[in-house]
Structure 1
């Protein structure tokens, strides 16, 4: 990528920043100035990687590398910043990729030995070997072979950003879009609960509505409701019993609305 001669305004920006490196505004302007350099290098690295690695993860890591380079850059050395920062940007991206590599070295080593033995056994038999033949090739008994096989097979992980299928719209469907949230609450239940509250408290005055809402929805005690409304606990209990008796009669009349 061709690098243009440094702009005098950019040169002055560097001078101002190096005089006060605590100035976040100046640092952010330098990040914006060289952001395209991060994006360019991220795209080059990403193009050589297998599917499942998110380009945005590389860009984010590259920005941290750029920030470190900006902090450490020495104007007095007469080196172009672009030349100085690219290794740091790419190094930060490679560090991110190493962190993504979740397979331990021991697991990878065992998997390599298992694959090498499988290939040797296949070359002897001329067909895909059985587990027993691979175990014999590795000089292992059945128990040790099965343990090695299990140790060499780590749990499969899937990137949530991996494409599930492409659509005609601007946004492809990814794994995260189809993943069920078993702990998530159904938003329709909250809507139904709110609608029921409005239906039940229809026709009640302010204090009566508050008693029903605080008791059944906020789960407050009669004593707590009394403190909120400035009433005694016995008065709240009396009002609650009266409201419930009245609502029971009204609900019988409104039964068709619940059908």
Structure 2
């Protein structure tokens, strides 16, 4: 490339050659590369990583509870960050973080720093796995009312028993007849149980929407209670005295006769009848006042054999 004309005026051939040689020499000589700059935060992070790896190695050599606690405490924010991703299922963040901490402790205990894997990546699978396991196996048990779980268990037992007896899957009518329920009652039990489960890990159902009045045992109608369609509520039954609760359970959930109940409890049939009358009266009071949804207060007195 030619230089601009003003630059060439007055220049000698030797000066031009000399300048060209110097330029080529400067281009041939490379300037020394500068070492990459490491800011203070990166340097601090590197030193912290080294210190943590040293603790992991030390803990692996000798399982010190103190070192384990220090490592777990340091990574607690990691467990909480992972737990926050699952809050949408409706479980409190603190509960999920506690479950995640269990996975974190397992990760600390099994981490091998010699494999060249970052602990955060290793711990993530333990923490997230523990939370998912908890949500899959525990949330429905935590959310579903006890009476829903119990009635659903009776439905599954009835289905299994009928399948063995008739050699095929029973119909809804056959299940309802065996359980002495209406078909609508059986369907409501199934719906209540299905609603108690976590759908797509994103929603929990309010069990107050379950129509408990539909799940009315056919035998309850004969007692003519003002609220006989609500007597199925197991939470109210749980507030009865022990003997009353057993009598109600055997009569209405096991379909035993009063004679069979008397034989099982070691009392007379007459006494079973009196206990039943007292239990139904107590249930009517509990259900009418709405106290059946409260925890058992222990104020009931057990009816004893005279």
Length-normalised TM-score, structure 2: 0.36
Q: Which has the larger radius of gyration?
A: 2
Q: TM-score normalised to the size of structure 1? A: 0.42
